[in-house]
A and B are shown apart, each in its own frame.
Chain A
Amino acid sequence: MNPLETPWFFRMVEGEARTPAERLLAVFHVAEKWIAAPGIREDLSEVYAKHSYGTQTCMQLRHFLSGLASSAGADKPDVLASHLVILLQGAIVEELRNPELHAMSEATKVAKAVIAQARPHIRRRNFALLSTGGLAASVLAGFIGWHLLAAFHQPAQVTNTVIIASNKAVLLPTGISPSEMEAVLTLHEQFERGICPAPHLVTLPPGQMTAYMNVINFRTPENPAADRENLKAFMAWFNKTQSTECYYAPKNGHTTVSWTKG
Protein backbone atom coordinates (compact mmCIF):
# COMPACT_ATOMS: atom_id res chain seq x y z
CA MET A 1 0.00 0.00 0.00
CA ASN A 2 1.24 3.43 -0.86
CA PRO A 3 1.74 5.36 2.38
CA LEU A 4 0.99 8.62 0.59
CA GLU A 5 -2.56 7.38 0.20
CA THR A 6 -3.27 6.51 3.82
CA PRO A 7 -5.41 8.44 6.28
CA TRP A 8 -2.26 8.58 8.38
CA PHE A 9 -0.52 10.75 5.80
CA PHE A 10 -3.52 13.05 5.44
CA ARG A 11 -3.73 13.42 9.20
CA MET A 12 -0.07 14.34 9.40
CA VAL A 13 -0.60 16.98 6.75
CA GLU A 14 -3.59 18.37 8.57
CA GLY A 15 -1.63 18.41 11.81
CA GLU A 16 1.24 20.29 10.22
CA ALA A 17 -0.68 23.28 8.88
CA ARG A 18 -3.99 25.02 9.35
CA THR A 19 -5.08 26.78 6.18
CA PRO A 20 -5.76 24.82 2.99
CA ALA A 21 -2.98 26.60 1.11
CA GLU A 22 -0.46 25.82 3.84
CA ARG A 23 -1.63 22.24 3.87
CA LEU A 24 -1.00 21.88 0.15
CA LEU A 25 2.59 22.80 0.84
CA ALA A 26 2.70 20.71 3.99
CA VAL A 27 2.18 17.62 1.82
CA PHE A 28 5.73 18.11 0.64
CA HIS A 29 7.09 18.86 4.13
CA VAL A 30 5.53 15.73 5.55
CA ALA A 31 6.71 13.59 2.62
CA GLU A 32 10.22 14.96 3.01
CA LYS A 33 10.38 14.25 6.73
CA TRP A 34 8.84 10.86 6.23
CA ILE A 35 11.49 9.84 3.68
CA ALA A 36 14.21 11.12 5.99
CA ALA A 37 12.99 8.91 8.86
CA PRO A 38 15.22 5.91 9.55
CA GLY A 39 14.54 2.88 7.39
CA ILE A 40 11.94 4.52 5.18
CA ARG A 41 14.27 5.17 2.26
CA GLU A 42 15.23 1.50 2.13
CA ASP A 43 11.65 0.30 2.46
CA LEU A 44 10.44 2.67 -0.20
CA SER A 45 13.17 1.63 -2.65
CA GLU A 46 12.07 -1.93 -2.16
CA VAL A 47 8.41 -1.10 -2.76
CA TYR A 48 9.22 0.83 -5.91
CA ALA A 49 11.46 -1.96 -7.19
CA LYS A 50 8.91 -4.68 -6.52
CA HIS A 51 5.95 -3.03 -8.16
CA SER A 52 8.24 -1.58 -10.80
CA TYR A 53 6.63 1.81 -10.72
CA GLY A 54 3.29 2.59 -12.11
CA THR A 55 0.95 0.50 -10.05
CA GLN A 56 -0.02 3.34 -7.79
CA THR A 57 -2.90 5.39 -9.07
CA CYS A 58 -2.79 7.95 -6.25
CA MET A 59 -6.49 8.59 -6.59
CA GLN A 60 -6.96 9.26 -2.87
CA LEU A 61 -4.06 11.68 -2.79
CA ARG A 62 -5.37 13.45 -5.87
CA HIS A 63 -8.79 13.72 -4.29
CA PHE A 64 -7.32 15.04 -1.04
CA LEU A 65 -5.21 17.61 -2.87
CA SER A 66 -7.98 18.84 -5.11
CA GLY A 67 -10.21 19.28 -2.05
CA LEU A 68 -7.53 21.41 -0.42
CA ALA A 69 -6.90 23.29 -3.66
CA SER A 70 -10.51 24.22 -4.05
CA SER A 71 -10.76 25.42 -0.42
CA ALA A 72 -7.58 27.38 -1.00
CA GLY A 73 -9.31 29.21 -3.83
CA ALA A 74 -7.33 27.80 -6.74
CA ASP A 75 -8.67 28.59 -10.20
CA LYS A 76 -8.59 24.97 -11.35
CA PRO A 77 -8.31 22.70 -8.32
CA ASP A 78 -8.02 19.48 -10.33
CA VAL A 79 -5.24 20.86 -12.46
CA LEU A 80 -3.32 22.06 -9.43
CA ALA A 81 -3.78 18.65 -7.80
CA SER A 82 -2.43 16.95 -10.92
CA HIS A 83 0.56 19.26 -10.99
CA LEU A 84 1.37 18.54 -7.38
CA VAL A 85 1.00 14.76 -7.79
CA ILE A 86 3.36 14.81 -10.78
CA LEU A 87 5.83 16.89 -8.84
CA LEU A 88 5.64 14.68 -5.76
CA GLN A 89 6.12 11.47 -7.74
CA GLY A 90 9.10 12.87 -9.60
CA ALA A 91 10.63 14.25 -6.43
CA ILE A 92 10.37 10.94 -4.59
CA VAL A 93 12.05 9.01 -7.40
CA GLU A 94 14.79 11.63 -7.68
CA GLU A 95 15.24 11.68 -3.90
CA LEU A 96 15.61 7.90 -3.79
CA ARG A 97 18.14 7.88 -6.59
CA ASN A 98 20.21 10.90 -5.67
CA PRO A 99 19.77 11.72 -1.99
CA GLU A 100 22.47 14.39 -2.14
CA LEU A 101 20.45 16.55 -4.55
CA HIS A 102 17.78 17.22 -1.90
CA ALA A 103 15.07 16.86 -4.51
CA MET A 104 12.30 16.90 -1.93
CA SER A 105 13.16 20.32 -0.58
CA GLU A 106 13.57 21.61 -4.13
CA ALA A 107 10.12 20.23 -4.94
CA THR A 108 8.73 22.10 -1.96
CA LYS A 109 9.98 25.35 -3.44
CA VAL A 110 8.51 24.50 -6.82
CA ALA A 111 5.21 23.60 -5.18
CA LYS A 112 5.16 26.97 -3.46
CA ALA A 113 5.56 28.75 -6.80
CA VAL A 114 3.01 26.55 -8.52
CA ILE A 115 0.45 27.00 -5.76
CA ALA A 116 0.94 30.77 -5.84
CA GLN A 117 0.51 30.73 -9.61
CA ALA A 118 -2.74 28.80 -9.31
CA ARG A 119 -4.31 31.35 -6.95
CA PRO A 120 -3.71 34.62 -8.75
CA HIS A 121 -6.41 36.66 -7.04
CA ILE A 122 -5.29 35.59 -3.59
CA ARG A 123 -1.60 36.00 -4.18
CA ARG A 124 -1.45 39.74 -3.69
CA ARG A 125 -3.50 39.73 -0.52
CA ASN A 126 -1.52 36.83 0.89
CA PHE A 127 1.77 38.58 0.44
CA ALA A 128 0.49 41.38 2.60
CA LEU A 129 -0.84 38.91 5.15
CA LEU A 130 2.39 36.96 5.15
CA SER A 131 4.54 39.97 5.78
CA THR A 132 2.35 41.28 8.58
CA GLY A 133 2.07 37.75 9.92
CA GLY A 134 5.84 37.37 9.90
CA LEU A 135 6.24 40.71 11.62
CA ALA A 136 3.66 39.80 14.22
CA ALA A 137 5.37 36.48 14.83
CA SER A 138 8.78 38.05 15.34
CA VAL A 139 7.39 40.69 17.65
CA LEU A 140 5.57 37.97 19.50
CA ALA A 141 8.69 35.80 19.79
CA GLY A 142 10.55 38.65 21.43
CA PHE A 143 7.58 39.41 23.60
CA ILE A 144 7.30 35.87 24.87
CA GLY A 145 11.01 35.73 25.50
CA TRP A 146 10.89 38.76 27.83
CA HIS A 147 7.44 38.42 29.31
CA LEU A 148 6.72 34.75 29.34
CA LEU A 149 3.87 35.06 31.79
CA ALA A 150 2.26 38.00 30.07
CA ALA A 151 1.83 35.91 26.92
CA PHE A 152 -0.86 33.85 28.61
CA HIS A 153 -3.13 36.83 28.82
CA GLN A 154 -3.04 37.54 25.11
CA PRO A 155 -6.24 37.11 23.07
CA ALA A 156 -7.03 33.86 21.28
CA GLN A 157 -5.51 34.93 18.01
CA VAL A 158 -2.11 35.17 19.56
CA THR A 159 -2.29 31.67 20.95
CA ASN A 160 -3.11 30.46 17.46
CA THR A 161 0.07 31.98 16.12
CA VAL A 162 2.00 30.23 18.83
CA ILE A 163 0.43 26.92 17.89
CA ILE A 164 1.19 27.41 14.22
CA ALA A 165 4.76 28.32 15.04
CA SER A 166 5.19 25.26 17.19
CA ASN A 167 3.59 23.07 14.52
CA LYS A 168 6.37 24.00 12.14
CA ALA A 169 8.81 22.23 14.42
CA VAL A 170 6.79 19.03 14.44
CA LEU A 171 8.78 15.97 13.47
CA LEU A 172 7.52 12.59 12.49
CA PRO A 173 7.55 10.29 15.48
CA THR A 174 9.81 7.53 14.31
CA GLY A 175 9.72 4.00 15.54
CA ILE A 176 5.94 3.82 15.53
CA SER A 177 4.37 2.40 12.43
CA PRO A 178 1.66 4.37 10.65
CA SER A 179 -0.93 1.71 11.44
CA GLU A 180 -0.16 1.80 15.16
CA MET A 181 -0.34 5.55 15.09
CA GLU A 182 -3.63 5.41 13.23
CA ALA A 183 -5.03 3.08 15.88
CA VAL A 184 -4.06 5.43 18.69
CA LEU A 185 -5.43 8.47 16.88
CA THR A 186 -8.72 6.69 16.18
CA LEU A 187 -8.98 5.76 19.83
CA HIS A 188 -8.24 9.33 20.84
CA GLU A 189 -11.03 10.53 18.60
CA GLN A 190 -13.37 8.04 20.26
CA PHE A 191 -12.41 9.43 23.67
CA GLU A 192 -13.06 12.94 22.51
CA ARG A 193 -16.42 12.08 21.06
CA GLY A 194 -17.42 10.22 24.18
CA ILE A 195 -17.75 6.87 22.46
CA CYS A 196 -15.20 5.19 24.68
CA PRO A 197 -14.46 6.02 28.32
CA ALA A 198 -11.15 7.85 28.54
CA PRO A 199 -8.80 6.36 31.13
CA HIS A 200 -7.27 8.80 33.57
CA LEU A 201 -3.90 9.40 32.06
CA VAL A 202 -2.24 9.89 35.44
CA THR A 203 -3.27 6.41 36.54
CA LEU A 204 -1.44 4.86 33.60
CA PRO A 205 2.18 3.79 33.95
CA PRO A 206 4.20 6.96 33.24
CA GLY A 207 5.89 5.59 30.11
CA GLN A 208 2.56 4.70 28.52
CA MET A 209 1.16 8.13 29.24
CA THR A 210 4.15 9.79 27.58
CA ALA A 211 3.95 7.52 24.55
CA TYR A 212 0.26 8.24 24.16
CA MET A 213 0.72 11.99 24.48
CA ASN A 214 3.59 11.90 21.98
CA VAL A 215 1.40 10.33 19.35
CA ILE A 216 -1.64 12.54 19.76
CA ASN A 217 0.52 15.66 19.74
CA PHE A 218 2.70 14.44 16.83
CA ARG A 219 5.76 14.81 19.02
CA THR A 220 9.01 13.04 18.30
CA PRO A 221 9.65 10.56 21.10
CA GLU A 222 12.96 10.64 22.91
CA ASN A 223 13.10 6.90 22.91
CA PRO A 224 11.10 5.48 19.97
CA ALA A 225 11.66 1.85 20.86
CA ALA A 226 10.38 2.32 24.40
CA ASP A 227 7.43 4.33 23.11
CA ARG A 228 6.46 1.54 20.77
CA GLU A 229 6.52 -1.03 23.57
CA ASN A 230 4.54 1.26 25.86
CA LEU A 231 1.94 1.95 23.21
CA LYS A 232 1.56 -1.73 22.52
CA ALA A 233 1.05 -2.38 26.22
CA PHE A 234 -1.43 0.46 26.50
CA MET A 235 -3.47 -0.66 23.50
CA ALA A 236 -3.47 -4.25 24.72
CA TRP A 237 -4.61 -3.18 28.18
CA PHE A 238 -7.32 -0.94 26.78
CA ASN A 239 -8.64 -3.55 24.37
CA LYS A 240 -8.74 -6.14 27.12
CA THR A 241 -10.30 -4.21 29.95
CA GLN A 242 -11.89 -1.03 28.63
CA SER A 243 -13.01 -1.55 25.06
CA THR A 244 -16.21 -3.31 26.16
CA GLU A 245 -17.31 -0.01 27.68
CA CYS A 246 -17.33 1.72 24.30
CA TYR A 247 -20.79 2.58 23.11
CA TYR A 248 -21.39 3.07 19.41
CA ALA A 249 -24.71 4.80 18.82
CA PRO A 250 -26.88 2.95 16.30
CA LYS A 251 -26.61 4.47 12.84
CA ASN A 252 -30.40 4.72 12.39
CA GLY A 253 -30.78 6.99 15.41
CA HIS A 254 -32.57 4.40 17.58
CA THR A 255 -31.23 3.66 20.98
CA THR A 256 -32.88 0.32 21.69
CA VAL A 257 -30.77 -2.35 23.24
CA SER A 258 -31.40 -5.93 22.20
CA TRP A 259 -30.99 -8.59 24.83
CA THR A 260 -29.79 -12.06 24.15
CA LYS A 261 -30.45 -15.05 26.34
CA GLY A 262 -27.65 -16.56 28.29
Chain B
Amino acid sequence: MATQMREHILGVASDLFSNRGINATSVDTIVAEAGIAKVTLYKYFKSKEQLILEYLRQYDEKLWQKLSSRTTGQEAPREKVMTLVNAVMDWIEDPEFKGFAFVKASVEFPQLENPVHQTSVEFAQTLRNTIAGIAAEAGIKNAETLALQLSMVIEGAAITENMQRDSGAVQHAKDLAKILIDTAK
Protein backbone atom coordinates (compact mmCIF):
# COMPACT_ATOMS: atom_id res chain seq x y z
CA MET B 1 0.00 0.00 0.00
CA ALA B 2 2.78 2.35 0.98
CA THR B 3 4.74 1.74 -2.22
CA GLN B 4 1.56 2.05 -4.28
CA MET B 5 0.87 5.48 -2.87
CA ARG B 6 4.47 6.51 -3.49
CA GLU B 7 4.27 5.33 -7.09
CA HIS B 8 0.96 7.12 -7.56
CA ILE B 9 2.38 10.43 -6.35
CA LEU B 10 5.51 10.00 -8.43
CA GLY B 11 3.47 9.15 -11.51
CA VAL B 12 1.28 12.23 -11.20
CA ALA B 13 4.28 14.44 -10.50
CA SER B 14 6.24 13.01 -13.46
CA ASP B 15 3.39 13.76 -15.85
CA LEU B 16 3.13 17.30 -14.58
CA PHE B 17 6.88 17.86 -14.68
CA SER B 18 7.25 16.67 -18.24
CA ASN B 19 4.16 18.45 -19.53
CA ARG B 20 4.33 21.76 -17.73
CA GLY B 21 7.94 22.05 -16.64
CA ILE B 22 9.44 21.45 -13.25
CA ASN B 23 9.48 24.99 -11.89
CA ALA B 24 6.01 25.68 -13.21
CA THR B 25 4.58 22.75 -11.24
CA SER B 26 3.94 23.64 -7.61
CA VAL B 27 3.55 21.15 -4.81
CA ASP B 28 -0.05 22.35 -4.50
CA THR B 29 -0.75 21.36 -8.09
CA ILE B 30 0.72 17.91 -7.55
CA VAL B 31 -1.34 17.42 -4.41
CA ALA B 32 -4.52 18.56 -6.16
CA GLU B 33 -3.93 16.37 -9.22
CA ALA B 34 -3.11 13.33 -7.10
CA GLY B 35 -6.16 13.92 -4.90
CA ILE B 36 -4.21 13.61 -1.66
CA ALA B 37 -3.41 15.75 1.34
CA LYS B 38 -0.20 17.72 1.41
CA VAL B 39 0.84 15.86 4.54
CA THR B 40 0.64 12.59 2.64
CA LEU B 41 3.01 13.86 0.00
CA TYR B 42 5.54 14.95 2.56
CA LYS B 43 5.24 11.58 4.26
CA TYR B 44 6.68 9.90 1.17
CA PHE B 45 8.91 12.66 -0.18
CA LYS B 46 10.80 14.95 2.13
CA SER B 47 10.83 17.83 -0.33
CA LYS B 48 9.94 18.82 -3.86
CA GLU B 49 13.62 18.40 -4.67
CA GLN B 50 13.55 14.76 -3.64
CA LEU B 51 10.52 14.26 -5.82
CA ILE B 52 12.36 15.80 -8.77
CA LEU B 53 15.44 13.64 -8.22
CA GLU B 54 13.26 10.54 -8.01
CA TYR B 55 11.49 11.56 -11.22
CA LEU B 56 14.81 11.90 -13.03
CA ARG B 57 16.03 8.54 -11.72
CA GLN B 58 12.87 6.77 -12.88
CA TYR B 59 13.02 8.47 -16.25
CA ASP B 60 16.60 7.35 -16.69
CA GLU B 61 15.69 3.77 -15.83
CA LYS B 62 12.86 3.74 -18.36
CA LEU B 63 15.11 5.20 -21.03
CA TRP B 64 17.72 2.51 -20.56
CA GLN B 65 15.13 -0.26 -20.50
CA LYS B 66 13.86 0.98 -23.83
CA LEU B 67 17.30 1.30 -25.34
CA SER B 68 18.72 -2.00 -24.16
CA SER B 69 15.72 -3.86 -25.62
CA ARG B 70 16.72 -2.58 -29.04
CA THR B 71 20.24 -3.94 -29.29
CA THR B 72 20.40 -7.62 -30.18
CA GLY B 73 24.09 -8.03 -29.59
CA GLN B 74 24.45 -9.52 -33.07
CA GLU B 75 25.57 -6.42 -34.95
CA ALA B 76 29.03 -5.41 -35.97
CA PRO B 77 30.57 -3.06 -33.37
CA ARG B 78 30.31 0.07 -35.52
CA GLU B 79 26.70 -0.74 -36.30
CA LYS B 80 26.02 -1.06 -32.60
CA VAL B 81 26.71 2.63 -32.17
CA MET B 82 24.30 3.40 -34.97
CA THR B 83 21.65 1.09 -33.48
CA LEU B 84 21.87 2.82 -30.12
CA VAL B 85 21.64 6.26 -31.69
CA ASN B 86 18.76 5.17 -33.89
CA ALA B 87 16.94 3.77 -30.87
CA VAL B 88 17.21 7.12 -29.11
CA MET B 89 16.07 8.90 -32.28
CA ASP B 90 13.04 6.64 -32.70
CA TRP B 91 12.06 7.37 -29.18
CA ILE B 92 12.36 11.10 -29.82
CA GLU B 93 9.97 10.64 -32.72
CA ASP B 94 7.43 8.94 -30.46
CA PRO B 95 4.39 11.20 -29.90
CA GLU B 96 4.72 10.50 -26.17
CA PHE B 97 8.14 12.11 -26.13
CA LYS B 98 8.19 15.41 -24.24
CA GLY B 99 11.88 16.20 -24.27
CA PHE B 100 14.68 14.64 -22.28
CA ALA B 101 13.90 15.03 -18.60
CA PHE B 102 17.54 15.55 -17.74
CA VAL B 103 18.07 18.19 -20.40
CA LYS B 104 15.05 20.14 -19.23
CA ALA B 105 16.01 19.78 -15.60
CA SER B 106 19.55 21.04 -16.13
CA VAL B 107 18.20 24.01 -18.02
CA GLU B 108 15.58 24.78 -15.40
CA PHE B 109 18.18 24.54 -12.65
CA PRO B 110 21.22 26.20 -14.17
CA GLN B 111 23.12 26.68 -10.89
CA LEU B 112 26.01 24.25 -11.11
CA GLU B 113 25.92 23.35 -7.42
CA ASN B 114 22.21 22.50 -7.38
CA PRO B 115 21.63 18.75 -6.75
CA VAL B 116 19.03 18.59 -9.52
CA HIS B 117 21.51 20.09 -11.96
CA GLN B 118 24.22 17.69 -10.83
CA THR B 119 21.97 14.67 -11.20
CA SER B 120 20.87 15.66 -14.67
CA VAL B 121 24.47 16.21 -15.72
CA GLU B 122 25.24 12.73 -14.41
CA PHE B 123 22.47 11.19 -16.50
CA ALA B 124 23.59 12.98 -19.62
CA GLN B 125 27.05 11.66 -18.88
CA THR B 126 25.77 8.09 -18.68
CA LEU B 127 24.38 8.37 -22.18
CA ARG B 128 27.63 9.84 -23.45
CA ASN B 129 29.78 7.28 -21.65
CA THR B 130 27.73 4.40 -23.00
CA ILE B 131 28.13 5.65 -26.54
CA ALA B 132 31.84 6.17 -25.93
CA GLY B 133 32.15 2.64 -24.56
CA ILE B 134 30.54 1.03 -27.60
CA ALA B 135 32.53 3.26 -29.93
CA ALA B 136 35.76 2.28 -28.22
CA GLU B 137 34.81 -1.39 -28.64
CA ALA B 138 34.37 -0.71 -32.34
CA GLY B 139 37.98 0.43 -32.45
CA ILE B 140 37.26 4.14 -32.84
CA LYS B 141 40.18 6.03 -31.33
CA ASN B 142 38.40 9.30 -30.63
CA ALA B 143 35.49 7.53 -28.95
CA GLU B 144 34.98 10.33 -26.40
CA THR B 145 34.82 12.97 -29.10
CA LEU B 146 32.42 10.94 -31.20
CA ALA B 147 30.22 10.42 -28.15
CA LEU B 148 30.09 14.15 -27.47
CA GLN B 149 29.28 14.84 -31.11
CA LEU B 150 26.53 12.25 -31.17
CA SER B 151 24.98 13.44 -27.95
CA MET B 152 24.88 16.95 -29.38
CA VAL B 153 23.10 15.65 -32.45
CA ILE B 154 20.65 13.73 -30.27
CA GLU B 155 19.85 16.76 -28.16
CA GLY B 156 19.56 19.01 -31.16
CA ALA B 157 17.17 16.55 -32.75
CA ALA B 158 15.10 16.44 -29.58
CA ILE B 159 14.78 20.21 -29.53
CA THR B 160 14.01 20.51 -33.22
CA GLU B 161 11.53 17.67 -33.23
CA ASN B 162 9.83 19.03 -30.15
CA MET B 163 9.22 22.42 -31.67
CA GLN B 164 8.08 21.10 -35.01
CA ARG B 165 6.54 17.68 -35.12
CA ASP B 166 7.03 15.71 -38.34
CA SER B 167 9.56 18.15 -39.74
CA GLY B 168 11.79 15.24 -40.63
CA ALA B 169 14.30 16.42 -38.04
CA VAL B 170 14.79 12.91 -36.72
CA GLN B 171 15.61 11.51 -40.13
CA HIS B 172 18.04 14.36 -40.75
CA ALA B 173 19.66 13.72 -37.40
CA LYS B 174 19.99 10.01 -38.18
CA ASP B 175 21.74 10.84 -41.45
CA LEU B 176 23.95 13.30 -39.63
CA ALA B 177 24.83 10.69 -37.01
CA LYS B 178 25.65 8.21 -39.76
CA ILE B 179 28.06 10.68 -41.37
CA LEU B 180 29.76 11.21 -38.04
CA ILE B 181 30.07 7.52 -37.23
CA ASP B 182 31.26 6.63 -40.70
CA THR B 183 33.91 9.33 -40.75
CA ALA B 184 35.12 8.75 -37.17
CA LYS B 185 38.57 7.23 -36.94
Contacts and interface: CB of A to CB of B under 8 A. Distances in A.
A110 B149 contact: yes
Contact of B172 (A42, A83, A113): A83
Interface string B148-173: 11011111110110111001110011
B107 A106 contact: no
B176 A91 contact: no
A161 interface: no
B99 A54 contact: yes
Interface in B121-164: 121, 124, 145, 148-149, 151-157, 159-160, 162-164
Given A54-B99, A54-B162, A86-B173, A49 B23 contact: yes
B108 interface: yes
B99 A53 contact: yes
A89 B107 contact: no
B148 A101 contact: yes
Interface in A86-119: 86-91, 93-94, 96-98, 101, 103, 106-107, 110, 113-114, 117
B72 interface: no
A45 interface: yes
B183 interface: yes
The bracket for how many chain B residues form the interface is 35 or more
Given A86-B172, A88-B156, A89-B160, A94 B148 contact: yes
A211 B149 CA distance: 39
Contacts of A214: none
B104 interface: yes
Which of A79, A97, A113, A117 has the most B CB atoms < 10 Å from its CB?
A97
A23 B104 CA distance: 31
Contacts of A85: 156, 160
Contact of B110 (A88, A90, A96): A96
B179 interface: yes
B153 A90 contact: yes
A86 B164 contact: no
A86 B160 contact: yes
A87 B176 contact: yes
A136 B145 CA distance: 32
Contacts of A48: 107
Contact of B152 (A42, A90, A96): A90
B1 to A, nearest CB: 35
B115 to A, nearest CB: 15
Contact of B157 (A79, A86, A101): A86
B164 A89 contact: no
B106 interface: yes
A52 interface: yes
Contact of B179 (A86, A96, A114): A114
Contacts of A83: 172-173, 175-176
A166 interface: no
B11 interface: no
B168 A82 contact: yes
Contacts of B87: none
B156 A113 contact: no
A2 B162 CA distance: 16
Given A53-B99, A57-B164, A83-B176, A110 B152 contact: yes
A86 B180 contact: no
Contacts of A91: 152, 156
Interface of A: 42, 45-46, 48-49, 52-58, 79, 82-83, 85-91, 93-94, 96-98, 101, 103, 106-107, 110, 113-114, 117
8 contacts: A49-B107, A53-B99, A53-B163, A58-B163, A79-B172, A82-B172, A85-B156, A90-B157
List the 7 closest pairs (A to B, CB-CB), nearest first: A90-B156, A90-B152, A86-B156, A45-B110, A54-B162, A90-B155, A89-B156
